[in-house]
Amino acid sequence: MFGLISYIFSSSLLALSISAFVFTYFFSSTIKNYLDAQIYPSKKIHVQLPEQFLPGWSTSQYANSQNASQKLPNKITCIDPATGKILGHHPISSASDVQAAIEAASIAQKVWTNTSFSQRRQVLRTMCDFILDHQLEICQAACRVSGKTLVDAMLGEVLTTIAKLRWTIENGENVLKSSTRGTGFLMMYKMARVVYQPMGVVSAIVSWNYPFHNAFGPVISAIFAGNAIVVKTSEHSAFSSPYFLSIIQNCLAAHGHPKDLVQFITGYAETGQALVSSKNVKHVTFIGSAPVGRLIMKAASDNLTPVTLELGGKDCAIVMNDANLDQCVPVIMRGTFQNSGQNCIGIERVIVHQDVYDKFINLVKHKIPLIRQGPCLENTTNDHQIDMGAMVLSSNFSVYGSLISDALQKGAKLITGGKVFNHPEYPYGSYFEPTLLVDVTPNMDIANTEVFGPIMAVFKASSVADSIRIANSSQFALGSSVFTSDKLLGRQIAMSLKCGMVNNNDFAVNYLCQSLPFGGIGNSGFGRFAGNEGLLSMCYQKSYTEDIFSSISTSIPKVVDYPIENTQNAFEFTKNINTFAFGSNIISRIKAAITLGKLSK
């Protein structure tokens, strides 16, 4: 009885101690952030939302229509893919424009590099507060240029950006502070540190699928690390770039910092080439396809510019026979059809255990045809009854058709969808029906090609090993999901998958854990953004040593001082230093110390 009471008391005391530690840690961290925010408060800024982003905005100009305006030289014709409306025209950045942007950013960075972490946090707080206060307007801008729904914009554009801002505000300084390293026995009189310093002007070339978040993400990390950044936004989402850039630059200006620290440029391959090949750009982050990623890497190699490549994905969701289908089916539906499947970490392969294969198919085949498509910013009776938006690149529709045809010829079955959706009210919009393709096998083209569209491809697996085999058969290796009620099995499968990220019983939530690095392996690229690793990639890492005590420093023993009097003695001296410092036998180390003493005379 006494032993039981003692155990309960000691366990309670331990739990209380742990709780007190956790409370103290988070409380002190919260107090620190609170005080910092009081001393360096955010400010309200105003940025005008262009009229084209307002719901119900009308025009007589539609793409591919008889009354469409002519293409203008050196201009990008900007289109709303959900309706085909022509939003306007955006200038193409020439090579000289790119160079001017880099030079302006470089001048601003020389001022910004002297700011404190508190000053940088202040800018990010202002940015975060503006986003929170203008969530709808930002979603409207993203929806207008990418055709996504307001819900998809809120999740993929706003939520992810705020999560990154908050993590950087709360953790960025601790990540970038210089760190002490061990010196080892031989250098015990030294202090060794790693110092993280800004690179200067860095760059990012980002994709169109999430125009707000993809542009803001690299900016947040770059400027907090003390850099300037030039971002090449996609030509497909060019119309939103000035609005998004105004938000960032107004946040900087509100606190007296140079607006030129962040530059946006837009254009085609020539614009990107001018940016990547510049000697004054010290790092390149690229978000896009594997073929273009190879070109980026090749261009950057001329100046040995380091690159982070976030390329294509062919993410899988493995569904084991003990998976909770009521939980996993909605998650997989969201992972497949969110943003019309235009996600680098979208679920493109669903690998289902044979024991629950038919049940899974029966569940999704009734849900997928119910998905409603259309624009979310038009004044229609179904204005807010839209599940899935438009496709940015209608040129991919023929690719989808070819992939589906190849799969059908090799034994797959098309359950629903599989063709272009001609919207009755918006004939110039770009839509593809949500599609269910079953009995897919790894030898089919669709199993090895990044679709980037609303197609659920379902594979049948006979076992755990077969599931892993199918999952690892792709040349892409970005993220994945595993659904099972057995946590140990889920972990075992996760550790067997050749990819950069895995979520058990979920989809893509690792990206909301902003402390985690984001990236893949193989044809999905290399390098990481997000987390400590992403922030540190924006810095030069400098090794630094100094004497702990000013009275103790390195002096060259006479036996090895130039000119060396006796090279044999010098050799024996250095040999015995190795034995004394690193030998595993205590006797040999003592003998080496005696020899060193003799040779030092």
- List, for residues 172-219, the tens digit of each pLDDT value: 999 999 999 999 999 999 999 999 999 999 999 999 999 999 999 999
Whether 300 and 229 map to the same domain: the answer is yes
- Quick one: pLDDT at residue 381? 57
Q: Does residue 52 sit within a domain?
A: no
- Quick one: pLDDT at residue 6? 43
pTM, 2 dp: 0.91
Enclosing domain of residue 150: 93-311+533-542
Whether 172 and 254 map to the same domain: the answer is yes
Q: Does residue 56 sit within a domain?
A: no
Domain of 151, CATH number, reads 3.40.605.10
The segment with the largest mean pLDDT, out of 4-8, 276-280, 381-385, is 276-280
Q: Does residue 99 sit within a domain?
A: yes
Residues with catalytic function: 310, 344
- Cβ burial, residue 344 (10 Å; 0-12/13-18/19+): buried
Whether 188 and 325 map to the same domain: the answer is no
pLDDT-derived band at 7, boundaries 50, 70, 90: very low
Whether 320 and 360 map to the same domain: the answer is yes
Whether 395 and 500 map to the same domain: the answer is yes
Whether 202 and 347 map to the same domain: the answer is no
Whether 211 and 290 map to the same domain: the answer is yes
- Quick one: pLDDT at residue 115? 98
- List, for residues 131-161, the tens digit of each pLDDT value: 999 999 999 999 999 999 999 999 999 999 9
**CA-angle at 206, arms to 204 and 210, nearest 5°:** 140
- Quick one: pLDDT at residue 17? 62
- List, for residues 276-333, the tens digit of each pLDDT value: 999 999 999 999 999 999 999 999 999 999 999 999 999 999 999 999 999 999 999 9
Q: Does residue 339 sit within a domain?
A: yes
Q: How far is the CA of 300 from the CAs of 93, 94, 295, 483, in angstroms? A: 19, 19, 9, 40
Whether 441 and 392 map to the same domain: the answer is yes
Phi-psi region of 508 (alpha: psi -120 to 50; beta: other; left: phi over 0): left
Q: How far is the CA of 473 from the CAs of 21, 470, 489, in angstroms? A: 46, 5, 20
Whether 349 and 470 map to the same domain: the answer is yes
Q: Does residue 219 sit within a domain?
A: yes
Least confident of 22-36, 104-118, 362-376: 22-36
Q: Does residue 64 sit within a domain?
A: no
Q: At residue 345, does pLDDT exceed 90?
A: yes
Q: At residue 11, does pLDDT exceed 80?
A: no
The residue among 482, 473, 471, 457 whose CA lies nearest residue 320 is 482
Q: Does residue 330 sit within a domain?
A: yes
Least confident of 26-35, 102-111, 464-473, 590-599: 26-35
Q: How many domains does the chain have?
A: 4
Whether 349 and 491 map to the same domain: the answer is yes
- Quick one: pLDDT at residue 561? 93
Whether 510 and 537 map to the same domain: the answer is no
Whether 298 and 419 map to the same domain: the answer is no
- List, for residues 180-190, the tens digit of each pLDDT value: 999 999 999 99
